[in-house]
Amino acid sequence: MASLADRMTRRFGPGVRSWLDGLDALVAGLCRDWGLEVVRPLSGGTSHALMCTRGGEPVVLKVTPEPAISVQEHAALRAWEPSPRMVRVLRADPARGALLLEGLVPGTPAADGPGLAEVLRGLHIAPPEGFPPLHERVDFVFDVLRRRHPGDHDAAHARAAALARDRVAATLLHGDLHFGNVLDAGERGLVAIDPRPCVGDPASDAVDFAYASPDLRDGIERWSAVVDGDRLAAWCEVFAGFFPDHPSVAAGR
């Protein structure tokens, strides 16, 4: 497993090292200000996340070297606040790139099941202003794909960018919805975490769920009850490079 320094440097570049040098002091200051006790670190990509307690209750502290990321996440969490399907924000300090979130118990990653449809339906709301369009998210994820799986992804990228610009009934999107970002919250049900919010086609949020089926056609058919099945099929095709080991991709569908 990559170290925190390796992960952050890979994501933000070598300039992040000054932030890393001050990370312990940053966390200590937030713990003091918000009355937190650190329990253990959690995994993360664009943020450093820590399981903590506050007054005996579990909470999660997230800090990022790019404050704009926490500002966007905070705005999206506020928009989703009426829904029990998204984690709730308790405190925010945009200047320090920090968010304090509720802790979910037991907090284990979701398995494939009927509760996932509730998550999708709960998150796809009318989009507030101020969020980036889906095509910007598409550009970012294809940059990630090229780093993880070098090869010629230009044609798929171009098709995905065109899909993202289609005129559809746009919603607020999670932007990074996979099983690791949906947690079991006990009696409350499944709850999504770690959004990368953007605005666009709701079918794009269901790709990982469709690929959970050994037969992709069956997965698309199942999720067409929640999102547009034809558009989901198109998104699954352009994002196939992210699932090289899936039977339908390995067989060339």
- Domain regions of the chain by residue span: 4-102, 115-250
CATH for 115-250, options being 3.40.50.2300, 3.90.1200.10, 2.40.50.100, 3.40.50.720: 3.90.1200.10
Please give the pLDDT value at position 19. 95
Q: What is the pLDDT of residue 1?
A: 55
Predicted TM-score of the model (pTM): 0.93
Which pLDDT value is given to residue 252? 63
For the cut 90, the answer to whether the pLDDT of residue 117 exceeds it is yes
Around Cβ 61, how many Cβ atoms within 10 Å? 24
Identity of the amino acid at 231: R
Looking at residue 3, its pLDDT comes to: 86
pLDDT tops 80 at residue 253: no
3-state SS, one letter per residue, for 30-64: HHHHHCCEEEEEECCCCCEEEEEEECCEEEEEEEC
Do domains 4-102 and 115-250 share one topology? The answer is no
Provide the pLDDT for residue 10. Answer: 85
CATH of 4-102, one of 3.30.1360.200, 3.30.300.20, 3.40.640.10, 3.30.200.20: 3.30.200.20
Q: Is the pLDDT of residue 191 over 60?
A: yes
CB contact at 8 A, 41 and 78: no
Under 8 Å between Cβ of 74 and 89: yes
Range scoring the smallest mean pLDDT among 93-97, 123-127, 146-150, 157-161: 146-150
Closest CA to 77 of 194, 186, 242: 194
Residue type, 188: R
